[in-house]
């Protein structure tokens, strides 16, 4: 999670509008680097994570789709301005190799790497650590108002300001999945399904700002 956030910050630090492409749009090299490095760490530490069996699949699907609708609601249903500015793979439209590799890595980041990193950190670690520093002794899905509130707010603040209203509800609902399923895998699956639906919606509407 630290490496993921560090690389996001690096993207903002080196960004130079009007400069050469690699500085004007650093996301085109930072996001793939972030994806590969974080995926490598997830694989390296895979034996340290406890993924209980997938539970309550209908709840997982229902909350995933509800959260997806929540994120697209301002533009799709309330007709706010479309979010066109962002990671547009069409920059590589004339180069099929770059286009498809960029798109594949982007979906790998969106659907696998991000859900694993964020759910391991927010639900697997912090939700329990705020109950006891010996978090491994706290059963996954144990509820406390303090940990629920801090994780919900922290999860929201980790997103851009424009997404805070949707992100705070999302954080609360993903916490609910943890409480109802007591399964980290169910939390990851919920997050992953939401992001998969959002990814296809981004491609169909070309609202790159949701990446």
Percent of the chain at pLDDT above 90?
72
Number of domain units in the chain: 1
Q: Which domain holds residue 57?
A: 51-210
Taking only the tens place, the pLDDT of each residue in 93-124 is: 888 888 899 899 999 999 999 999 999 999 99
Whole-number pLDDT of residue 68: 97
**Measured distance CA(61)–CA(75) in Å, rounded:** 23
Do the domain assignments include residue 164?
A: yes
Do the domain assignments include residue 203?
A: yes
Whole-number pLDDT of residue 179: 98
**Measured distance CA(111)–CA(199) in Å, rounded:** 8
Whole-number pLDDT of residue 6: 93
Asked if 111 and 192 touch (Cβ cutoff 8 Å), the reply is yes
**Burial of 124 by CB count in 10 Å (0-12 exposed, 13-18 middle, 19+ buried)?**
buried
Residue with more model confidence, 17 or 70: 70
Residue with more model confidence, 91 or 109: 109
Do the domain assignments include residue 153?
A: yes
Residue with more model confidence, 89 or 155: 155
The answer to whether residue 199 scores a pLDDT higher than 80 is yes
Give the mean model confidence (pLDDT) for residues 78-95. 85
- The structure's pTM equals 0.92
Do the domain assignments include residue 6?
A: no
Do the domain assignments include residue 12?
A: no
Do the domain assignments include residue 72?
A: yes
Taking only the tens place, the pLDDT of each residue in 7-46 is: 988 888 888 887 887 788 888 888 899 999 999 999 999 9
Residue with more model confidence, 14 or 173: 173
């Amino acid at each position: 999670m630290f490496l993921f956030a560090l690389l996001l910050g690096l993207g903002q630090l080196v960004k130079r509008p009007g400069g050469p492409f690699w500085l004007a749009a650093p996301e085109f090299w930072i996001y793939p680097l972030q994806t590969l490095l974080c995926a490598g760490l997830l694989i390296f530490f895979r034996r340290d994570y406890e993924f209980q069996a997938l539970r309550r699949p209908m709840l997982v699907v229902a909350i995933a789709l509800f959260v997806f609708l929540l994120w697209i609601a301002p533009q799709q249903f309330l007709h706010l301005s479309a979010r066109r500015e962002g990671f547009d793979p069409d920059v590589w439209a004339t180069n099929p190799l770059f286009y498809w590799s960029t798109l594949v890595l982007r979906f790998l980041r969106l659907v696998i790497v991000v859900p694993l990193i964020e759910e391991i950190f927010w639900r697997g670690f912090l939700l329990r650590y705020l109950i006891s520093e010996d978090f491994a002794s706290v059963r996954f899905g144990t509820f406390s108002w303090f940990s629920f509130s801090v994780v919900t707010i922290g999860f929201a603040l980790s997103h851009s300001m424009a997404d805070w209203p949707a992100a705070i509800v999302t954080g609360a609902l993903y916490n609910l999945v943890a409480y109802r399923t007591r399964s980290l895998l169910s939390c990851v699956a919920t997050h992953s399904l939401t992001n998969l639906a959002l990814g296809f919606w981004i491609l169909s509407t070309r609202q790159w700002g949701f990446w």
